[in-house]
């Protein structure tokens, strides 16, 4: 966590990370060197002594390269893009252009039009509880164990230290966040891994792959306990929440099947067809309803018998604008539960759940460019003050939205390619994002006790 750092400095740390990430995207170098570059930038910004030297060196280099034009057209362009418009001429502790009071930097004779940059609405941010609640300014670690896109990242239940990732490189990984390390790589699939799910006690992990198999993994031993085969590529899988000895798997033909995980066999009567290719599965709060989406913009409610896992399709809801539904998330709410759906039509929808019927209440626009980019609910804020969500973005940023107001309250930049998936720890102290190159970034919330 960044020690003894003011709100303004913390905002500028994130802005510098954003600029470094944008520059990193255009570097003509090997992918592993790009990851190493961002790791070093993050390390320099975390350590106070290193951070101060980094700021001074950066300032002098920029002052040397742009001695007379402190607000170049390129910089203004990037400033607009990242919401860093200049408003005042005071930045006591930090200057990201390179013309502040540093040893060896002249303080007189500044040319007309000179101005130092300060984050926009810096004063308002001090009293904005929503923005402060999601001030993820620190980047304590970057994982790069995967060689291709990471499709899903997910914390274990009620855990801030155990994380699972599944990737297009045919593997899954289990990561520890205290200390930061890759505990194990789960290998066995022969195709991209599209989905995974934790068991209730976090001892097991279930995965689904386009190779037509679902695999049950023992997390501590890092071994495969069971292989379930299908005649079609699998796209989604879920444990039955009230009975982890059973699961539901979906394939590209739109077929849902229930399986006994002790035997690996299909459960009699546990079979249901939904139209078109299935994309996502998500159980409702009472575990008796399974929400199923497809690539035609439809969301189905399917009843699930808790004991026998028998499936029965009930209602169908079509999202406005069409497009493939690429993620579903359910959150208990008051007075009704909420369902979040992201689509390739660059829209995120929030519904209230009335038994087995969805009622649209909010939507917001996000730049997805037709990519399978997922969004999730923020657990604490949703329960306290309304519906806040986090989503990846095609431009490499991570966005925090207030769905009640329909606007973004924070934007994190550190990735150099589209961010496919995000997840929050149960206490919202950590945010994890993963991109199409396989890079996984851990973001840490600002220490509120260090505020001025």
- What pLDDT digit, counting tens, does each position of 304-334 carry? 998 888 999 999 999 988 889 999 999 887 6
Question: Of 289, 290, 334, 339, nearest to 319 (Cα)?
Answer: 339
Tally of helices (H runs) and strands (E runs) in the chain: 7, 28
Residue bearing tokens 């973004």: 408
Banded pLDDT at 109 (limits 50, 70, 90):
very low
pLDDT at 219: 96
Q: What is the pLDDT of residues 194-215, one digit of tens each?
A: 999 999 999 999 999 999 999 9
Sheet of 397-402: strand order equals: 375-377, 388-392, 397-402, 407-413
Q: What is the mean pLDDT of the chain?
A: 79
- Tell me 449's DSSP state: G
Question: Which letter, b or e, does each residue of 37-52 get, where b requires 16 or more Cβ atoms within 10 Å of its Cβ?
Answer: bbbebbbbbbeeeebe
CA–chain centroid gap for 300, Å, is 25
Q: What are the residues whose beta carbons fall under 8 Å from the beta carbon of 325, sequence distance 6 or more?
A: 279, 280, 293, 294, 295, 297, 298, 299, 319, 341, 342, 343
Q: Are 398 and 365 a contacting pair, CB within 8 Å?
A: no
pLDDT top residue among 339 and 9: 339
User: In DSSP terms, which residues pair with 386 in a beta bridge?
Assistant: none
Helices (H), 365-446: 379-384
- Res. 94: pLDDT tops 50: no
Sheet of 193-198: strand order equals: 193-198, 204-209, 213-218, 223-229
Q: What is the pLDDT of residues 130-145, one digit of tens each?
A: 556 677 878 889 999 9
pLDDT at 335: 78
CA distance 222 to 241: 22
Residue by residue, DSSP assigns 293-322 as EETTSEEEEEEE-TTT--EEEEEEEEPTT-
- Res. 165: pLDDT tops 70: yes
Sheet of 171-177: strand order equals: 150-155, 162-167, 171-177, 180-187
What is the largest distance, in Å, between two alpha-carbon atoms of the chain?
A: 84
- Return the percentage of the chain with pLDDT > 90, whole number: 52
Q: What are the residues whose beta carbons fall under 8 Å from the beta carbon of 384, sequence distance 6 or more?
A: none
């Amino acid at each position: 966590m960044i020690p003894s750092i003011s709100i303004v400095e913390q905002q500028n740390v994130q802005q510098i990370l954003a600029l470094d990430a944008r520059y990193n995207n255009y570097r003509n170098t090997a992918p592993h060197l790009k990851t190493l570059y961002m790791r070093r930038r993050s390390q320099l910004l975390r350590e106070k002594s290193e951070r101060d030297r980094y700021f001074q060196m950066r300032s002098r280099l920029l002052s040397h390269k742009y001695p007379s034009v402190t607000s170049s057209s390129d910089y203004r362009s990037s400033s607009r893009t990242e919401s860093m418009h200049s408003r005042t001429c005071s930045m006591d502790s930090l200057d990201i252009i390179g013309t502040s009071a540093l040893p060896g930097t002249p303080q007189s004779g500044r040319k007309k039009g000179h101005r130092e940059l300060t984050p926009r609405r810096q004063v308002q941010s001090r009293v904005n509880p929503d923005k402060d609640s999601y001030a993820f300014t620190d980047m304590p670690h970057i994982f790069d164990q995967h060689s291709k896109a990471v499709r899903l990242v997910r914390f274990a239940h009620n855990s801030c230290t155990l994380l699972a990732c599944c990737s297009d490189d045919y593997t899954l990984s289990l990561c520890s966040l205290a200390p930061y390390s890759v505990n194990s790589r789960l290998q066995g699939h022969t195709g991209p891994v599209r989905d995974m799910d934790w068991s209730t006690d976090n001892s097991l992990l279930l995965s689904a792959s386009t190779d037509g198999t679902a695999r049950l993994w023992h997390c501590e031993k890092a071994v495969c306990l069971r292989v379930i085969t299908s005649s079609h590529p699998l796209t989604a899988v879920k444990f039955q929440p009230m009975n982890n000895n059973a699961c539901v798997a979906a394939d590209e033909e739109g077929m849902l099947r229930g399986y006994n995980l002790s035997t690996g066999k299909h459960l009699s009567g546990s079979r249901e067809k939904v139209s078109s290719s299935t994309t996502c599965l998500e159980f409702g709060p009472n575990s008796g309803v399974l929400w199923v989406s497809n690539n035609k913009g439809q969301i189905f409610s399917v009843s699930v018998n808790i004991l026998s896992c028998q499936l029965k399709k009930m209602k169908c809801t079509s999202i406005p604008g069409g497009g493939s539904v690429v993620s579903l998330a359910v959150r208990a709410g008051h007075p009704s539960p909420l369902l979040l759906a992201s689509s390739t039509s660059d829209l995120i929808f929030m519904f209230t759940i009335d038994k087995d019927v969805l009622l649209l209440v909010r939507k917001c626009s996000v730049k997805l460019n037709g990519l399978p980019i997922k969004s999730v609910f923020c657990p604490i804020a949703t329960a306290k003050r309304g519906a806040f969500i986090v989503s990846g973005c095609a431009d490499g940023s991570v966005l925090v939205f207030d769905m009640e107001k329909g606007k973004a309250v924070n934007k994190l930049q550190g990735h150099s390619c589209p961010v496919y998936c995000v997840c929050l720890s149960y206490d919202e102290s950590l945010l994890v994002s993963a991109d199409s190159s396989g890079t996984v970034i851990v973001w840490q919330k600002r220490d509120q006790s260090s505020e001025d």
